[in-house]
Structure 1
Amino acid sequence: MKVTVFGATGKIGALVVRRLLEDRHEVTAFVRSPAKLGVAAAAVDVVAAELTDEDAIREAVEGADAVISALGPPIDPFVRGTPLTDGTRRIVAAMHGTGARRLVALATVSVPDPRDRPRLLDRLVPIGIGLLIPGALREVQGISEVVATSELDWTVARIFAPIDVPANHTVRAGFLGRDSVGVEMSRADIADFLVDQISSADFVGAAPAISN
């Protein structure tokens, strides 16, 4: 498949690119700083631009069978504006304009899914995050809303606590209060889950919470 990756130089995005290349997909990486791709730069098509560049975004998604967005806000209490939400809106518009349909994105469990049956702790998580890092919460919720209302074949993977440990290839996926989903998850396994969704219809139109 031909797959476009946004956020390709982040911790999870870089692992997404690696997994896609291992599976012999054709990869286009949309990045601000191509140098951060490292050795992967030689194996992918690179579109170097900002998320404000509508023409570059359209170029990146042209002909794509799927788009994976690993965009996520920094954990910074002073985040201002909504550049990632606005960028995601441009990605969705470009996909509609080019006919690309499959969109897989990343969020956190601070974003609800209608299938959730949240416990008290689940309800308190976004409140706590909103107090500590309101700008980041605003971005995560904004990205998710744009994706979920995109009228594309979308999936949003919601994570709790990503950690830098080797993949153990054990994934729990489901909905809060209904399924046995844990907390921590290897970033490598998160990347694998995102890539697996491009050829799966299991969670189309849904935002599963995932963990190891």
Structure 2
Amino acid sequence: MNVTVFGATGAIGQIVVAELLTSRHTVTAYARNAAKVPASWPADVRVVVGEITDAGAIDTAVAGADAVISALGPSMDKKATGLPLVDGTKLIIEAMHRHGVKRFIGNGTPSVTDKRDKGTLQQKFVGFMGRTMLPRAYQELLGMSDLIMNSGIDWTIVRFIAPKDGPAKGVMRHGFFGTDKIGFGVTRADIAAFTAAQLTDNRYHNAAPAISN
């Protein structure tokens, strides 16, 4: 499968690329900074360099893809301004429609709600902290997700609370708040593996599963 990965040079994105290569997918990696492209990537990884608001570069990256994976996440810098990832996500969706790409898999937090959630205190706490401590990032995250959920594209948004470094432990819990027991911590390796697995796992189409170790 030909897969385009946005946020490919980030902490989770790099592991997503590795997972896809291990599964013998063909990868196009979208990078905003060519200097961050890992030297370990094989030569057959197609790299497209551009800002997240570069419509032409995004169109080039999406052309020929069977699916798009986004490991993009809002900046936590309180000095950041604007909502560039919302603008970029709109461009990604437009490019997907132009090229007939129907599958999108992205990442999010419990601030993004799913109709199957039952609104636990855990989820409400995460949303409250986002709105209070990082309101710009919170608005950007919700704006991105809202665009995807209403795009007419077959989507999955993998939600998690507290990503951490370390080896994969396996996603022991996944599902929806109030129905399934979801913990707080999950390794970035497990986030990446679960995200990549959604290419062939049909359980969470048009859904936002939450995961934890």
The aligned residue for residue 37 of structure 1 is: 37
How far does residue 55 in structure 1 lie from its aligned partner after superposition?
1.6
Comparing 180-189 with 169-178, greater Cα deviation is found at 169-178
Query: Secondary structure of 2:108's match?
Result: strand
Alignment RMSD, CA only? 1.2
Partner Cα separation in structure 2 for residue 113 and residue 86 of structure 1 = 22
How far does residue 78 in structure 1 lie from its aligned partner after superposition?
2.8
* Counterpart mapping for 1:1-212 below 5 A: 1-38=1-38, 39-40=40-41, 42-212=43-213
Partner Cα separation in structure 2 for residue 138 and residue 43 of structure 1 = 36
Partner Cα separation in structure 2 for residue 31 and residue 144 of structure 1 = 21
Q: Which runs of 5+ in 1 are unaligned?
A: none
Query: Secondary structure of 1:204's match?
Result: coil
How far does residue 126 in structure 1 lie from its aligned partner after superposition?
1.1
Query: Secondary structure of 1:94's match?
Result: helix
Comparing 38-47 with 66-75, greater Cα deviation is found at 38-47
Deviations 1:26-65 (A, max 9, x none): 0000111122121216340011111221121111111111
Give me the TM-score of the superposition, normalised by structure 1: 0.96
CA contact (8 A) 1:7 1:13 kept: yes
- AA aligned opposite 2:90: R
Partner Cα separation in structure 2 for residue 181 and residue 148 of structure 1 = 22
Partner Cα separation in structure 2 for residue 69 and residue 171 of structure 1 = 23
Identical columns (%): 48
- AA aligned opposite 1:2: N
- For this pair of structures, how many residues does the alignment match? 212
- AA aligned opposite 1:3: V
CA contact (8 A) 1:78 1:135 kept: no
- AA aligned opposite 2:68: V
How far does residue 201 in structure 1 lie from its aligned partner after superposition?
1.5
Q: Runs of 4 or more off by more than 6 Å in structure 1? A: none
Give the structure with the higher percent helix: 1
CA contact (8 A) 2:171 2:194 kept: no
- AA aligned opposite 1:18: A
CA contact (8 A) 2:171 2:186 kept: no
CA contact (8 A) 1:84 1:143 kept: yes
CA contact (8 A) 1:5 1:30 kept: yes
